[in-house]
Chains A and B, each alone.
Chain A
Amino acid sequence: MMEKQYCQPNEYKTIDLLAVAAAREVNNGDVVFAGTGLPMLAIMLAQNTIAPKAVCIYEAGTIDGRPIHLPTSVGDARCAYQASVSSGLFDVFNQLQRGEVDLAFLGGAEIDKYGNVNTTAIGGYMPQPKIRLTGSGGNPDINALARRTVFIMVQEKRRFKERVDYITSPGWRIPKWPFGEMVHKKEVYGDMFRGGPTAVITNMAVFRFDEEGVMYLDTVHPGFTVDDVKNNVDFDLNVSRCRGTTEPPTRQELEILYQQIDPEGIFLS
C-alpha cells in the first residue's frame, strides 16, 4: 500500500477535510444511508478507499447504485445507475426499521450536547415560528433506527446549544411522551434501541459521545485550538478527552475526490 502523504493546511479546503473525516467513519461492509451533498462525497470516497464493500442506500429508493456521475440529490437518476434494486421509500425505510442500516450521514441547523438536532424551526414553533426551516425529512427516522449516525455541521455558538429550539431528530437523551420528561433513548425505544449519534464533524473539530450520551471534543482540525472550539459552543463542553489534531486529508484522498468523484466541481468547486 502506498505511503500516506498528508496535505499541509494550505493545500486543502474545509469541505475536503469534512468529506475525508466523514469517509473515515465508514467501516468496510457497512450499509450506509446517505443524503445529498457532503454525505455523497463521503460514502463514495470511503468506497474508493477504506470501505470497498460498503453499500449505499439513497433515501429515494436506490440500493447499492454504482453512479459514474455524481448525483446532486437522492432522487437523481444518477443514483439508480447500475443499482442492485431501484424501489422506493417504503422499501428502504422498512429496511431501516428492521435493522439493516449500520451508518448514516445527517445534518442539522442546531444540535445540543445529547445529539438532539433541529432542522424544523428557529424561535418557537407555536403558534408560528420566527424562522421555518425545511423540516425533518428522514433525519429523525434514520437517527432513531440506524446503529450509528454522523452529523456534519457548521461550528457556531448559536448552533451548538444547551437546548435546541425544536427536537427534530432524537439524540441520546430525548423526551418521553406524553409528558416529555428527558430520558435515555433506551427508555423510549426498548428492544428497538440500536445506537445513535456517534460523531459530529464540523469545520473546526470532531466530537463524539460518552457512555452517558454526552458530547465531548475528540479532535481539533489543523489550524484551530481547543479554545476556538469552546468559544463556538454554547454549552459546557467536555474537552478532557481530546486526542489532539484531526488527521488531515491525504493527497490520494484529494485526488480521488477531485478527479474521480466530483470532477465537474458540483460540491468541490
Chain B
Amino acid sequence: MQKKNPKIISLTEAVGMIQDGDMLTFSGFTIWRRPMAFIYELVRQRRKDLHLVEVNGGTHTDILAGAGAIKIWESCWAGHELYGKLAGNVSRKAQAGELLVEDYSHVHMVCRLAAGAMGLPYMPTYASMGTDILNPEYDVLGKAGLRDGSHAKIPRQKYRMAQSDFYGPTELIHIPAARPDWCIAHVQYVGEEGTIRVMGQKYSDEEAFKAADKVIVLAESVVPEAMLRQEPERNLIPPYMVDYIVELPWGAHPTGVYGNYEVDGNFIRDFYSRTRTQEGFDAWAEEWIFGVKDHVGYLEKLGIDRLETLRANPGLKYSTKVVRGKR
C-alpha cells in the first residue's frame, strides 16, 4: 500500500473531515493528554451521532455527551478524577435513554483496541469474568438490534466464551477487536515527517493509534524529524501510520500533558458543577465553546497568568506553582 507522510493542516480542516456517525477513539487517560481543542471544535461544528470506543472516558467524553454529539459510547469509565465524582453529562444522557452505553471493563477495552492494532478479530482474556458486564441481558447494542452484521464497526457479539487446551483445559473470553474510523490524539512531539514521540506514561496510545483507520494528531510541538530520529528508541509511531498533523500548543487544556502542563483542576471542577443540568451545560458551552472564536480565543480567555501557573517544571515534568491542596 502506497503510504504518504502526513499532511499538516488546520484544526478546522481536521475536524471538517469527521462525518456524523463516525467511530472515534482518543489518546490519553481520564483527564490526561486528551485532544480537547479538537473536542471543542467538534461541538462548534455541531457533529452528531458519534460512536465512541475508548479505553476510558473523561472530561472530553462528558463535553461531547453534554453537546448531544454521542450516540453510542463503548467504554468502561467516565469521570473527572478528583474534580468531579462522575461524568454528569454522560450520566444524565444515559439515564434519559439518549445515549447507548455499552459497558466493558478496562482490560476488555484495552483488548479491543490491542486486537484492532494487531489486525486480529479478537483478543482472549480472563479479565472480569463472573460480572454483569458479561450478562447476556445487558448486551446494550445487541438489544438495540445493532449486532446483525450490517454495521461494519459493530461486532456480531459483545464477547464470546471460549475454551483452550494448549496447556490443559481452561475457559476464558474472546473480546472483539475495535476498529475506529479515527484516532484523535494529542502528543508532545511530532516530527516534520510524522514520527510521534509520547513522553511519560504511554497510557493506551499505541493501541488506539494502530487500531484506527486514520489518525489525526494534535501536537504541542512539531519538531525537526532529525531530532526524533537521533533517539529512535524513544519514539512510538512511524510517519506512515499518521494521516494528519495539527500543531496546537495547549491543545489538551484543561487536561494535563506530561512535561508541558498540569491538569487545570479548577476549570474541570467548575465544568462539573455547572453542567449537571442541560441548561447548565448549554450556558457553559456558550461561554467556553461557542463564545470563543477558535483555540487562540480560548487561550486568550484563559489568560497568560492561568496558563503560566499550569506550565510544567522542565525537571519535574509537572507544575510546582499550582495550589493543589487546602494547607
The chain A residues found within 8 Å of chain B, CB to CB, are: 36-37, 59-62, 69, 72-81, 86-90, 93, 96-97, 120, 125-141, 144-145, 166-170, 174-178, 180, 185, 188-192, 262-267, 269
Contacts and interface: CB of A to CB of B under 8 A. Distances in A.
A74 B263 CA distance: 12
5 contacts: A36-B81, A75-B29, A133-B86, A264-B325, A266-B325
B-side binding surface: helix, strand, loop or mixed?
Answer: loop
Interface of B: 28-33, 55-57, 75-79, 81-82, 85-87, 90-91, 94-97, 101, 103-108, 110, 114, 125-138, 140, 143, 161, 168-172, 200-207, 256, 258-259, 262-263, 265, 312, 316-318, 320, 324-327
Contacts of A191: 168, 170
A89 B54 CA distance: 13
A80 B324 CA distance: 18
A76 B32 contact: yes
B204 A134 contact: no
Contacts of A145: 126-127
Contacts of A190: 169-171
Contacts of B140: 126
B87 A136 contact: no
A137 B106 contact: yes
Contacts of B76: 135-138
Contacts of A269: 325-327
A129 B97 CA distance: 9
B327 A80 contact: no
Contacts of A185: 130
A145 B107 CA distance: 11
B131 A168 contact: yes
A77 B138 contact: no
A171 B47 CA distance: 41
Nearest to A170: B130
Given A61-B201, A135-B76, A136-B77, A128 B103 contact: no
